[in-house]
């Protein structure tokens, strides 16, 4: 590989000398440009930068002699574009943006081709910096030039870029629309490498909305093209992606199959970078299956490769994963602390703020369980500051939950109230985001299937008019199409309902962090003790703490006929105070709050095979509902499907994940 690259660079240098000697400036600049690209493909950005700067300088020199040469102007823009890509690959987005903006203001290069590639590069910089609105503006500008040039290849590439930007913005439907236009353009020029990339992007978008069937289809299509192109590296990456799809889809057999294929290819090619990624994914699978020894083996292999390559960020991630394994499945606190501290030390050395925050949270939980509140407070506070800066709602909720409890234990009432307020707001936000995501995913899937159905109907109609078949046969086809449409709409509804069930199963898996009733939790090793009555007992926060503790520990809502007076007697308060507190804290009345807890309990029971022998009515009774009718009505309203449908839609080989 290296020998071939050296030969290519040597050839380009020879061509450069030959072109210069033959008085062919355009040929010389093209050769220098190709040499720079060869360096760039080998990740030698230093030599690539020097080569492109030389080519750009020579281009300017020749343009002074022949300012009317459009060929040289287009070459100048192309070389400058590659120089900008070099800065982007170096991670120097500020310099790339500065140079591109400076170059785009030149008044003497107004070639549509030059405009197009400069605007596209500028859009790429904005995209990498997270300035998506600016990125879309520049990509649309580049698209206009590509359309005016009637260039299907660049048109397809820019539509792909637009789709990718929308993907990063979470606009899955818009992304799929752009990808469809990209496919129409690229089919015209049979650009298989770009099509393989496009199919990969389409698959990733479907994966973003949990549309696993479509994601699998397009990843397989991408893999087929990469096999045709003999692109082993790309094929291995796609197999890894397929493994991740099946992992999210809870299909362990297919997850292992595709990850093993990716590992096999990368072992043959000695591709350590991607092999480390494959080992991490396989470790995650084994950890999920509670295969501890295998998980530890793969995580360790990944860590060894990352250490060998000097990939410090990757080493932090692997050390953190091994620490999590010791914390969760192996329950070895000594080894857990050792790996967490190694990871934190390395994260601090490279300034990886996200990993520093995550490790502080993990270590803080251990310190909290050990009763070292001061150390835990410092760690949670650091993670909390990062979460606020990055607006990480989930991390804010986790940190503020612990900080609330620590402040209560240390008697800091004001800070406890402040942190609890942040916890509640974050919980509301997470719950709302989850509901919004489900709705958006369902809408995107429905729109996609609707468009496919419309295309099918349009094609059928065209076939009908072209073939000029007899009237009765035409009526029969139309009836068949109508029947197909009705059947498709029924399938869409069924898929939407299955999606609701799937999302509820995901909520069950994450209930420790998503359920609003768990306002303040205690750990298994360290029980919360409230301060004396005269300090917090009679405050709203004190009442809320006692109320949530009662709900979590005694679960009185499982008693049919529970009243607000019953709860008042248990926590020694009156109806007015309790009702007002529930209204202020949870934005609903007592009955609504209690029914929500009962439905969550019923959902948990229905998801577990241990309760399959119990009737739906029995499940409702166990959850605290006095009548079957009430249970059905409230369950359908809150969950979106009936209890029977919910239970019957759960594959029982997935039970262990939802208990």
- The rounded distance, in Å, linking the Cα atoms of 277 and 321 is 13
CB 501 within 8 A of CB 649: yes
Closest alpha carbon to 385 in 409, 364, 408: 364
Q: Which residues lie below 8 Å from residue 500, measured CB to CB, with a gap of 6+?
A: 438, 442, 639, 640, 641
pTM passes above 0.85: no
pLDDT digits (tens, 9 = 90+) for 548-592: 888 888 999 999 889 999 999 998 888 888 888 888 887 888 998
For the stretch 602-621, what's the b/e string if a residue is b when 16 or more beta carbons lie within 10 angstroms of its beta carbon?
Answer: bbbbbbbeebeeeebeebbb
pLDDT band at 523 (very low <50, low <70, confident <90, very high): very low
- Sign for the CA dihedral angle at 7, 13, 15, 18 comes to negative
CB 513 within 8 A of CB 394: yes
Say whether pLDDT at 144 is over 90.
yes
pLDDT digits (tens, 9 = 90+) for 237-256: 899 999 988 988 888 899 99
> What pLDDT score was predicted for residue 489?
62
> What pLDDT score was predicted for residue 470?
60
Task: Look up residue 372 and give its two tokens.
Answer: 């070292």
- The rounded distance, in Å, linking the Cα atoms of 373 and 299 is 32
Please state, rounded to an integer, the average pLDDT across all residues of the chain: 80
Closest alpha carbon to 123 in 153, 77, 173, 164: 164
- The rounded distance, in Å, linking the Cα atoms of 602 and 625 is 10
Which CB contacts under 8 angstroms, 24+ apart, belong to 619-626? 619/643, 621/560, 622/558, 623/558, 623/598, 623/599, 624/557, 624/558, 624/559, 624/560, 624/562, 624/594, 624/598, 625/560, 625/598, 626/560, 626/561
Q: First vs last Cα of the chain: how many Å apart?
A: 51
- The rounded distance, in Å, linking the Cα atoms of 236 and 242 is 10
- The rounded distance, in Å, linking the Cα atoms of 42 and 55 is 19
pLDDT band at 22 (very low <50, low <70, confident <90, very high): very low
CB-based burial label for 182 (10 Å; 0-12, 13-18, 19+): buried
Residue at token pair 């479509």: 214
Cβ neighbour number for residue 27 with a 10 Å cutoff: 15
CB 134 within 8 A of CB 150: no
- The rounded distance, in Å, linking the Cα atoms of 86 and 64 is 26
Cβ neighbour number for residue 519 with a 10 Å cutoff: 21
- For residue 25, the Cα-to-chain-centroid distance in whole angstroms is 48
Say whether pLDDT at 634 is over 70.
yes
pLDDT band at 594 (very low <50, low <70, confident <90, very high): very high
Between 459 and 379, whose confidence is greater?
Answer: 379
Query: Could you give phi then psi for residue 390, rounded to 5 degrees?
Result: -95, 0
Domains of the chain, with CATH numbers? Answer: 392-521 (no CATH), 525-587 (no CATH), 593-659 (1.10.10.60)
- For the chain, give the longest Cα–Cα distance: 99
Average pLDDT over residues 209-228: 89
């Amino acid at each position: 590989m290296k020998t071939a690259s050296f030969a290519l660079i040597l050839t380009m240098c020879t061509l450069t000398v030959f072109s210069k000697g033959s008085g062919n400036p355009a040929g010389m600049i093209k050769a220098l440009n190709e040499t720079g690209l060869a360096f760039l493909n080998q990740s030698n950005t230093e030599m690539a930068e020097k080569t492109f700067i030389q080519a750009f300088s020579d281009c300017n020199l020749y343009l002074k002699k022949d300012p009317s040469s459009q060929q040289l102007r287009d070459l100048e823009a192309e070389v400058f574009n590659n120089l900008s890509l070099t800065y982007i690959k170096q991670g120097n987005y500020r310099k790339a943006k500065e140079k591109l903006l400076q170059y785009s203001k030149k008044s003497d290069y107004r070639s549509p081709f030059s405009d197009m590639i400069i605007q596209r590069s500028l859009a790429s910089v904005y995209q990498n910096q997270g300035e998506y609105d600016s990125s879309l503006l520049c990509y649309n500008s580049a698209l206009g030039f590509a359309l005016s040039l009637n260039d299907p290849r660049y048109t397809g590439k820019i539509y792909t870029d637009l789709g990718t930007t929308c993907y990063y913005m979470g606009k899955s439907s818009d992304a799929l629309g752009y990808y469809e236009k990209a496919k129409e353009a690229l089919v015209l020029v049979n650009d298989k490498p770009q099509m393989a990339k496009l199919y990969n992007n389409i698959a990733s978008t479907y994966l973003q909305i949990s549309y696993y069937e479509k994601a699998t289809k397009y990843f397989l299509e991408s893999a087929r093209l990469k096999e045709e192109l003999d692109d082993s590296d790309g094929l291995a990456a796609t197999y890894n992606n397929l493994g991740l799809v099946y992992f999210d889809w809870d299909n362990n057999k297919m997850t292992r199959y595709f990850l093993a294929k990716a590992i096999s290819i990368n072992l043959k090619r000695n591709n350590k970078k991607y092999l480390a990624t494959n080992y991490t994914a396989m470790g995650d699978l084994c950890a999920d299956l509670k295969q501890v020894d295998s998980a530890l083996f793969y995580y360790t292999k990944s860590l060894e490769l990352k250490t060998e390559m000097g990939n410090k960020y990757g080493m932090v991630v692997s050390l953190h994963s091994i620490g999590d394994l010791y914390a969760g499945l192996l329950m070895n606190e000594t080894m857990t602390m050792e790996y967490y501290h190694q990871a934190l030390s390395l994260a601090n050395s490279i300034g990886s703020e996200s990993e520093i925050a995550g490790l502080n949270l993990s270590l803080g939980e251990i310190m909290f369980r050990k009763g070292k509140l001061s150390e835990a407070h410092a760690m949670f506070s650091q993670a909390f500051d990062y979460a606020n800066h990055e607006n990480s709602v989930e991390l804010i909720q986790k940190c503020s939950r612990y900080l609330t409890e620590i402040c209560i234990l240390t008697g800091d009432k004001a800070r406890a109230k402040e942190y609890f307020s942040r916890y509640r707001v974050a919980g509301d936000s997470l719950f709302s985001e989850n509901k919004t995501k489900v709705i958006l995913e369902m809408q995107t899937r429905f729109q996609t299937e609707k468009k496919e159905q419309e295309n099918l109907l349009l094609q059928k109609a065209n076939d009908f008019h072209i073939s000029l078949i007899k009237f009765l046969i035409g009526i029969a086809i139309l009836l068949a199409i109508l029947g197909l449409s009705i059947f498709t709409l029924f399938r869409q509804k069924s898929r939407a309902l299955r999606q609701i069930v799937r999302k509820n199963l995901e909520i069950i898996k994450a209930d420790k962090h998503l359920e609003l009733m768990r306002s303040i939790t205690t750990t298994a090793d360290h029980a919360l003790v409230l301060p004396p009555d005269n300090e917090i007992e009679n405050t709203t926060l004190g009442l809320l703490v006692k109320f949530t503790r009662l709900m979590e520990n005694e679960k009185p809502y499982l008693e049919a006929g529970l009243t607000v007076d019953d709860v008042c007697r248990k926590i020694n308060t009156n109806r007015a105070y309790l009702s007002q507190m529930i209204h202020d804290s949870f934005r609903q009345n007592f009955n609504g709050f209690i029914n929500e807890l009962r439905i969550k309990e019923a959902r948990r029971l229905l998801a577990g095979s241990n309760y399959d022998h119990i009737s739906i009515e029995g499940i409702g009774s166990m959850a605290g509902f006095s009548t079957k009718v009430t249970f059905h009505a409230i369950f359908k309203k809150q969950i979106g499907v009936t209890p029977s449908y919910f239970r019957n839609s759960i594959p029982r080989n997935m039970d262990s994940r939802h208990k």
